[in-house]
Structure 1
Amino acid sequence: MTYLPLLGILVVVLGFALRLNPLLVVTVAAFVTGLLGGLGLVEVTSAFGRAFNDNRYISVVWIVLPVIGLLERHGLQQRARTLIAKLRGATTGRLLLVYLLFRQATAALGLTSVAGHPQTVRPLVAPMAEAAAEKAH
C-alpha cells in the first residue's frame, strides 16, 4: 500500500491556506490523487466525466451561475430597483410575502430548486427589498 495518493489532501490544505479558487484547488487535488494512485490522465478525466454525468443536477449550477453573472453585469439589479421604486404600493413586507408565496407554490409542485438564493434572492429579491425600504424611509 502506498501513501502517495494522500498528497492530494496536502494540495487541498495548501490551496485553501493560500486562498486559491476552491473549485480549482479541488480539481487539481483530484487529478494529483488520481495520477499518484496509478491512473492515467485519460482515466482521471474519464472519472470526472462519469461523475459529472451521473450527477446531472450539478450541471444545472454550472449553467445558472454564469447566466446570473451576465445578467448582473448588464444591470439586472439596477433594473429591479428601478421597477420597485416606480411601484407605489410596493413595500418590503409585501415584496417578501409575494416571494414567499411563490416559493411555497413552487415547492408544493415539487420544484424546490426554483427561485433559490443564487437564482433569485441575490440578483432580484434583495435589491427590490432594499429599493422598497429606501422608498419608504
Structure 2
Amino acid sequence: GHEIGNHGFSHPHVNDLDLERNKEEIQKTTKAIKQATKSTTRYFAPPYGEYNDTVLQAAAETGHQVILWTVDTVDWQKPSAEQITSRVVDGAQNGAIILMHPTEQTNESLPGMIKGLREKGYKIVPLEKLITG
C-alpha cells in the first residue's frame, strides 16, 4: 500500500507564517487528501525542510508529527529520471526517508529506483513502519 504524508497546501516558507496560517496549510492539505483517498495524514514534512517552534506547534495541534527527509530527489528542478534514480540509490542509507514530488520524471524513475534499492539490500516500507518499527 501507499502512505501519503502532508507537505502543506501551497508550499510556503512556513517559518514566515503565524500559528493559524501554519495550521490552515496543514488542515487544508489534510482535507484534500481525505476527500481524495478517504485516509488521513499523521506526518507533516514542512516545505523546504524549514521549521521553528510555531511550525512544530501547528503540526502538534493538528495531530501531525513533523518529519524531515534524508534523501532529496530535487525533482522539482525537473532532472531526468536517471538522475533522480542515481541520486536516490547512491544517497540511500538504512532508515532513509526519500522526498519525492508528483512529477513526470519522478514517476518514470520509480521502477529503476526500486530495483536499485532492492539490489543494494534495502527493504522499502511505509513511513509509519519505519518510525514505529
- Class of the TM-score when normalised by the shorter of the 2 chains: under 0.3
More strand by share: 2
The structure richer in helix per residue is 1
Larger radius of gyration, structure 1 or 2? 1
